[in-house]
Amino acid sequence: MVQNNHVAAGRLTGTNDNLSPHKDRTTENLKPVTSEQPLVSRQVSRQTDTTKPARLSVDDVTLAVPAERDVAEKDYTRPFDNGYHFPPKYSWQESTKQGLSSFWEFFTTPMGCFWTFYGLNVVAWGGMLFLLLCNAAPAMCHPTCDDINSPRRKWVEWDSQVLTGLFCVTAFGLAPWRFRDLWLLMKYRIKGQQEGLLRLAGIHSSWFRLPGTEELSPDIGPDNLPTDVPKQCVPIPKEKMPNAPLTGIRAPATKVWKMDFMIWCMILNTLAQVGLCGIMWGMNRYNRPSWSTGFLVAVGCIIAMVGGLVMFFEGRKVKRVEGVPCSERDLQKLAQDKEMGILHYNNIGDKKPKQKKKQSDPEK
């Protein structure tokens, strides 16, 4: 039987004389293995015939990952093309000290002192009303907590009257400016006059960006306003044109419906306060509906808060893109930390950006 195998192998080699050397090696691998050859040698020959691609070791991977991270860290910390860098992040001790110093400067002004005492009164009277509604003072429940003549119900009425007066300060004090914004918005929405939106953009230039302004040159500002700039990109008055972005990159245009939403929130806050005053001062605690006070107070507070959040978040978006001014203290800290090898992320929070998860290739 061994001889027959050799004869067959000889026929194969004889018929393939004109093949390439690669094919000769293939035919050599086709030679039968005799039964006298050990089993171990067969396994070794099979392992040597099949060549597998080299794999990276664990050490190679661990050395490659930090190199990629170092490159990413440098990209996140390097300045913008014009050399701008966001202010650095301070420790909580320095931030607290700086915050108290800024608050003292604000408090020592007439308006700062007024708004500070106003806020403290709202917090104090509002907190007391909350505790009374939670029955936090059982001693006032005489004869019962819900008795109309109990001390608890009387203090609930007094607290509600004080809070109604405090809420009138903002709801009615800011009403002229709120209805001015509504009038300009109606000129734009109903009459189709672009002037209304341009004036609103000038009033709220800290957070609102007109459509098309993202395509303007980054050096255009109130002090550098060429005549060829489209009129629909310039607020009224033109002195309200936003300053040139510190980063050299303009923020995207703000969606106009957010301006509508903010203005209507403030108008509804004033109207809710009108209803609250009518309920509180036009009726007494004996014939006033029990649900009316809490409902109108909640509606007025929530609507005003939502409108304020729209301005806050949109203003923060603008600052993230266009940058915020750096003080002399910020510039000194950046220079000192750079000499010491301490790098700061070049964004508004001095935080490492979140990396997006890589989507896996479906073909693999």
At 261 the pLDDT is 95
At 356 the pLDDT is 64
| Residue at 292 is within a domain | yes
| Residue at 214 is within a domain | yes
Is the pTM above the cut of 0.85? no
| Residue at 247 is within a domain | yes
| Residue at 6 is within a domain | no
| Residue at 242 is within a domain | yes
Helices (H), the chain: 2-15, 21-29, 39-49, 58-77, 92-107, 110-133, 151-173, 175-189, 194-203, 256-282, 290-322, 328-339
Per the structure, the complete domain to which residue 288 belongs is given by 158-326
The tokens describing 181, both together, are 């914004």
Compute the C-alpha angle 118/119/125, nearest 5°.
Answer: 90
Residue 224 phi/psi, 5° resolution? -140, 90
At 73 the pLDDT is 56
At 166 the pLDDT is 92
d(CA 141, CA 153) in angstroms, rounded, equals 9
Question: 3-state secondary structure string, 159-176?
Answer: HHHHHHHHHHHHHHHCHH
| Residue at 188 is within a domain | yes
Cβ neighbors of 81 (< 8 A, separation 6 or more) are 248
Nearest to 246 by CA among 80, 74, 78, 90: 80
Cβ neighbors of 51 (< 8 A, separation 6 or more) are none
At 306 the pLDDT is 94
| Residue at 228 is within a domain | yes
| Residue at 2 is within a domain | no
- For the chain, 364 residues long, the average pLDDT of each consecutive 10-residue run is 44 44 44 44 46 45 44 70 87 89 92 94 91 86 84 89 92 94 94 92 93 89 87 90 90 93 95 92 87 86 92 93 89 87 84 67 48
Q: How far is CA 215 from CA 110, 200, 212, 340, in A?
A: 42, 20, 6, 39
Question: 3-state secondary structure string, 193-245?
Answer: CHHHHHHHHHHCCCCCCCCCHHHCCCCCECCECCCCCCHHHCCCCHHHCCCCC
How many structural domains does the chain have? 1
Q: Any bridge partners for residue 221, and if so which?
A: 224
